[in-house]
Chains A and B, each alone.
Chain A
Amino acid sequence: MKYTTFNQINNNPLTEPMFFGNPVNVARYDQQKHQIFEKLIEKQISFFWRPEEVDVSKDRVDFQKLSESEKHIFISNLKYQTLLDSIQGRSPNIAFLPIISIPELETWVETWSFFETIHSRSYTHILRNLFGDPSSIFNDIVENQEIKKRASDISKYYDDLIFATQLWQTLGEGSHTINGVTHIISMRELKKKLYLCMNSVNALEAIRFYVSFACTFAFAERELMEGNSKIIRLIARDENLHLTSTQHIINLWAKGKDDPEMAEIAEECKEEATQIFLNAVQQEKEWAAYLFQQGSMIGLNKEILCQYVEFIANHRMSAIGLGQPFDIKSNPLPWMNNYLNSDNVQVAPQESEISSYLVGQIDSEVNADDFGDFDL
């Protein structure tokens, strides 16, 4: 079905499925089929923050004090997070918006993606502070084999859905031969691709950030790179909300509360969805091994990080009905909770070190020579 930016059929959005119904026409939020997305939008907007509000200047001094292996850990994590948010800043928009059928979900996806772009901008803010010219760091993201391996696994489900949607929108259902390759497009196949893509995104939001988060907060436990840690706390708060949204979508489908065909597909693809999650767990463990290949950092090692990934995976897989495949029962990094607690995220300007807020106000640094021309 051809996409239209304003569907002129006077349809009732309260009876549309989340995806693959009529395209959305009026952006109205006075009524919602699934109220949760409107509430998520409100919450996400209340979280608004700007990277520049966080003073990262002290991190530059701290960074010089890190050992070579610690620098490798810190920079590699930033590269990986930059990759994740590069993908997440655009892909939900491109993959999901053309097939969404209810206004509250459409706006949620746009709000979600917008926040991912804030995250991307914050990585530039952090890196520009550490290096006069961060080009070599950014360039390595498309060169580094460890990162590329992950990139293709994350983007393939998106790319698959996007391509199939494009064929469906231009040519409709049927068998289409493009450049000598035959593609079978049916609504059932499209919905399956959507289901797998949503599971891949859910796994990304659920665990792919957490090895990096743990390293960042382990530095902060030693009072190092604290500006970076403040930014990562804000990012972690957002990512928890994004995860909540993909969990809701997956569960609305599975429980038959939206499109009944999606409930069948959820049942049919359970094995594949589990595998997507387990592959992400495996890749995160390999990432931990890559981070610590040149040596550990105080407070963290590969084993404990892998245990943490399993612990978090248990929780997050059970939230979407995939059970708890790992034996681990207690949190190996309990101090992580303190950094992921929204009470500890400072947002009020007067509480955080916002340079723009302080300029021309108070300079708290006083040197002996400031009193040079001071007479009594």
Chain B
Amino acid sequence: MSNNKDSLQVNIKQHKTVLHQPQRTLLESIEVHQIDVHFHCREGYCGACRTKLLSGKVEYPNFPLAYIDDDEILPCCCYPTTDIEIELA
């Protein structure tokens, strides 16, 4: 797991750039900054938090069940492995 890298940047289009919090999911890292992301299950099976990944890479410790397109990620259960740029739905 490379999710304990600190100082990875998460650039949220039309919001601001935040720092990814080590050991947290991407969703938790964004919520720390009081930015609303739609969510339901927080476990990767419902797809409510589906978000566009514009650049960078993320990884999933557990296979996510929800349907996502090739350029989409599930912030509730993914961890950035590089600096990333995303666009919230």
A contact set with B: CB distance below 8 Å: 36, 39-40, 43, 237, 240-241, 243-244, 247-248, 251, 315, 318-319, 330-331, 334, 337, 340-343
Q: At the interface with chain A, which of B3-11, B15-23, B41-49, B79-87? A: B41-49
Knowing that A241-B65, A315-B89 touch, tell me 9 more A-B residue pairs with CB under 8 angstroms.
Answer: A39-B65, A244-B67, A315-B48, A318-B89, A337-B38, A337-B40, A340-B40, A341-B39, A341-B42
Determine if B46 and A243 form an interchain contact, defined as CB atoms under 8 angstroms apart.
yes
Rounded to whole angstroms, the CA-CA distance of A40 and B43 in the bound complex is 13
Residues of A within 8 A of B71 (CB): none
Within 8 A of A (CB), among B32-77: 36, 38-43, 45-48, 50, 63, 65-67, 69
Rounded to whole angstroms, the CA-CA distance of A237 and B46 in the bound complex is 9
Rounded to whole angstroms, the CA-CA distance of A375 and B77 in the bound complex is 59
* Given known A-B contacts A331-B36, A340-B41, A341-B41, A247 and B65 have beta carbons under 8 A apart: no
Rounded to whole angstroms, the CA-CA distance of A40 and B40 in the bound complex is 17
* Given known A-B contacts A240-B46, A315-B48, A318-B89, A247 and B41 have beta carbons under 8 A apart: no
Residues of A within 8 A of B50 (CB): 315, 319
Least Cβ distance of A226 to chain B in Å?
20
Residues of A within 8 A of B69 (CB): 251
Residue among A237, A247, A330, A337 with max Cβ neighbours from chain B (10 Å): A337
Determine if B41 and A237 form an interchain contact, defined as CB atoms under 8 angstroms apart.
yes
Rounded to whole angstroms, the CA-CA distance of A90 and B50 in the bound complex is 31
Chain A's closest residue to B50 (CB) is A319
Contacting A251 at CB < 8 Å: which of B43, B63, B67, B89? B67
Residue among A39, A318, A331, A342 with max Cβ neighbours from chain B (10 Å): A342
Determine if A240 and B39 form an interchain contact, defined as CB atoms under 8 angstroms apart.
no
Least Cβ distance of A228 to chain B in Å?
19
Least Cβ distance of A369 to chain B in Å?
47
Rounded to whole angstroms, the CA-CA distance of A319 and B51 in the bound complex is 11
Chain A's closest residue to B68 (CB) is A319
Show 13 A/B contacts (Cβ-Cβ < 8 Å), sorted by A.
A36-B65, A240-B46, A241-B45, A244-B47, A244-B67, A247-B66, A315-B48, A318-B89, A330-B36, A337-B39, A341-B41, A342-B42, A342-B45
Chain A's closest residue to B72 (CB) is A319
Rounded to whole angstroms, the CA-CA distance of A1 and B63 in the bound complex is 37
Rounded to whole angstroms, the CA-CA distance of A143 and B69 in the bound complex is 43
